[in-house]
Structure formats: C-alpha cells, structure tokens
Structure 1
Amino acid sequence: IKCHSLIIATGARAQRLRLPREDEFWSRGISACAICDGASPLFKGQVLAVVGGGDTATEEAIYLTKYARHVHLLVRKDQLRASRAMQDRLIMGNVSEFSTIQTSLCISTLRLLTLSATLKARCRAF
C-alpha cells in the first residue's frame, strides 16, 4: 500500500508500531492523531492509511475522508472491532478496509511513505 501519510490509531493512548525508521518520520508523515494533524497540508488530497480496528481508528479514518483523496483502514486483527454504528458510517466515506494485515516496513522517498502490509484475509471497499 502506498500512502502519503500514516495515522496509527491505537486508542486513547498513542502506541507505536515499532516499524523501521518510524521515529525518523514521526510527525513527518506518521502520526497518532488524525484529529490533531488531519487538516495539515501534509495530508490534504493524499492517499492515507490508518492502522487500527476499533472505534478510534474507524472514527479517524472517517474524519480523514474530509481531506484525503482516499483512506486505507488497516486492521491487524481478523475483523474490524468498531461498533456497528461506526462500521455503518464507513459506508459513507472513501475508505478501503484491509483485515488481518501485518505491517512490516516503513520507508520514505521524498514525499511518499510506503507501508508494506501483508494481507492475510480480506479487503472491502466502502
């Protein structure tokens, strides 16, 4: 998956994924808060990825559709854990959900952040 920026939505407390070079690009394409950083020019009109599968990740993915060209929701578990109401809201957005992924690499080339996500199960576009 190629995206301009990555939001790591790990819940109420920011948790890092421990990806290679993650520290180097923290706040320079990798963020833990879409609400805080989503309106930034860094994200506008770009393809973005949100890592997480709960209500927080779903809410942040939906929020980012206001600014992003497209949002990928990368769920590390076998299914989206967000409430039914939050899942229903995904249908209105420009979001693709990838379940049971394993994030493995983070590399930046100029302005493009590449996240390697191994898909083990399914993909849904909303």
Structure 2
Amino acid sequence: MNNAGFAVHGGFAETPLEDSLGVLDLNCRAVVTLAHAFLAHARPGAALVNVSSTLGFTPKPGLGVHSATKAFVTSFSEALARAQRWSRAGRTPCSPRSPGCCPAGPRCPCSARPSRPRPTPRAA
C-alpha cells in the first residue's frame, strides 16, 4: 500500500520551489518507484493500493501542487489498472472518504476515516 504524502500550504508563487519539488518527489516519484518494485515481484492475486485524495478531484487553493500530485496518483493508478488487467497483479486507487475503496476492506486506512452517508436511492 502506497500511503505516503505531504503538502505545503500556501500560495504557489510564495512557496519556495524546493518545497514544491519535495511534494512532487514524495507524492509522485515515490509512488512510481514503489509501484514498479512491487509489480516486478507481485504474485498472482496480489493487489497494489495507491492512496490518493479527494483533492485530486477537487483542488483546493493553497494546495495546488499537492492537489495536482493526488490527481497524478489517481490517473497513474487507473493507467496501471488497464495495463495490468490481464497480468498477475491488480491495483486499486484509494481516496480518503471512499468506503470500500480497496481490497484491504476494513483494514484500509481510508475505511477507518468517517465518510459521509450515501443518499438512499429513491424509486422512480
């Protein structure tokens, strides 16, 4: 499970470049590196879980680089899903507050976070 990440809060232009590049390195480069290492040795039935964030879908001002890296994690995971469809191992992108997001089920750190109740479908 890839569940590392950090963010630097503040305006993009006011944030030191090295801080933004550090966010990119951990939130993107580390995910790619660890996914590659895992999939190179994965056994049949193994699952790769990359923890993303809802910020990847709804960016927040002051967290532009972090939000962009989480969009990368989601997109990268989806690309791996398609590429791995016929291979030995699967992958799942996992966003906090998305119940049942990964094969770890209730052990998933995302599942431990409270989620908003889903609306009950109404009959037409």
The answer to whether TM tops 0.5 is no
TM-score, normalising length from structure 1? 0.33
TM-score, normalising length from structure 2? 0.33
Q: Hey, which of these two has a bigger chunk of strand by percent?
A: 1
